[in-house]
Amino acid sequence: MENIGTFLSGCEDYGLKKTDLFQTVDLYEAQNIPQVIATIHALGRRVSREGNLPLLHSAPCPLATTDNWAFHHHLSKPPV
């Protein structure tokens, strides 16, 4: 629960409104996952306005190697 509180404090420090934040219990007890997702989206919007987007490709994915047949086979399957 402490990590959730730290995340929420960080979001507020970053400029998110209290109305954009989920309550700790929403995530910890999975009571309101849509609000948790809404908070993540609000954080994403705020970050993109600031231009501080993370480089998601900065670390290589160990699964995405050419010799990993299972990973590439999974990618080539059509969705069910």
Prediction pTM value: 0.63
Residue 66 and residue 75: Cα distance in Å, rounded?
12
For 62, the token pair is: 């160990």
For 27, the token pair is: 């995530």
Residue 29: DSSP 8-state? T
71 pLDDT more than 80: no
- Closest CA relative to residue 39, chosen from 20, 24, 25: 20
The CB density around residue 11, as the number of other CB atoms within 10 Å, is 20
Q: In the chain, pLDDT over 70 holds for what percent of residues?
A: 64
- pLDDT bin (cut points 50, 70, 90) of residue 28 is very high
> How confident is the model over 31-57, as pLDDT tens digits?
999 999 999 999 988 988 877 666 555
Helices (H), 15-67: 24-28, 33-50
